[in-house]
Amino acid sequence: MPQETTVLIVDDSSIVRRVLSTELDKMPGIRVLGTAPDPYVARDKMLSLRPDVITLDIEMPRMDGLTFLRKIMKYHPVPTIIVSSLTPKGCKTALACLESGAFDVVCKPGAAYSVGDLTQRLGDLIRAAARSKPQARISPSATVRHLSTRAMIETTNKVVAIGSSTGGTEALRVVLEPLPKTAPGIVMVQHMPAGFTTSFAERLDGLCQIEVREARDRDTVVPGRALLAPGDKQMTLARDGARYIVRIKEGPRVCRHRPSVEILFESTATFAGANTLGIILTGMGHDGADGMLSMRKAGAYTIAQDEASCVVFGMPREAIERGGACEVRPLNEIPERIIRFAEGALKATAA
């Protein structure tokens, strides 16, 4: 019989504590050990109950969730999932939580996000978090720092397509931060709710040499620019004459996600083919696995992040097992591979 994953729920709302406890206890393989109304009570229960995973609110009395998270990761690392009302005002705080070691962030129930949506997503995350280990912030390798100063072939007919999910906010920073302004145009899907992607893109833009922003319909894909799919919208690559553009649209969830990596990768295979580098990063599930295989069959060069550097080795594993990856690389080596691709040094092999 599989071992149960134990959870401690930390939230100042008695209603949220009760609802999450009731719903999560119904889920196979999950057992709620207890709840706490603030970080001080949570600290004592963590030491006595030893939960596998913690869910943590951000706004709480006596100590905010971000401060408590940083203490957890410093003194007693436990996989921690932030459960918060992600308003535009709070997005930067949520991003800071991810930077500080949170496994992922999910929205509390609201007008667009039901209790059922939350508990299903949270259950999946809890199971994945129990198999993970908190990871330190990764710095670009010396090789990448050196290469990022080199001139590269400037061209508008190369596209880098990246897909990521759980753990992807930090992984994308590691990939994008070392890239020079001459890097190929980049299109990205990171599984995030609406209202979150704008702040995330702005934060990356402040850290990177390239321009990073949330994509708008008909934005052009050009060197030195990375476009992030908006939360709760699907993004595809398309052609407009000699240019590559993105299309932003409503649409059903694919592989349970909107935006979906699968949608982006399939459109990239169709419209960019061998002019593409496809990269699949940390995340649970299989979103993007079939799309990456389609890209490889269309002549694209494809890379999957390796297990050791993944927070969750779900999406990369699926892509590898289905034959979609030309190679498997540690996260901190991927920026160098983007540079090599731009120089024309990477050639795809048949799937």
Active site residues: 165, 191, 287
Strands 276-280 and 211-214, sheet pairing? unpaired
Q: What are residue 147's phi and psi, to 5 degrees?
A: -65, -30
As given in the structure block, the two tokens for residue 205 are: 């833009």
Q: What is the DSSP string of 84-121?
A: E---GGGHHHHHHHHHTT-SEEEEPSBTTB-HHHHHHH
For strands 276-280 and 159-164, give the pairing.
parallel
CA 260 to chain centre: 11
- 10 Å CB burial of residue 145 (0-12, 13-18, 19+) is middle
Inter-residue contact 103 to 125 (CB < 8 Å): yes
* Separation CA 65–CA 59 (nearest Å): 6
Neighbours of 217 (CB within 10 A): 12
**Look-up of token digits 């406890």:** 21
In the block, tokens 């809890």 appear at 126
Q: How many whole angstroms separate alpha carbon 30 and alpha carbon 130?
A: 10
Write down the H helix ranges in 277-349.
289-297, 315-321, 334-342
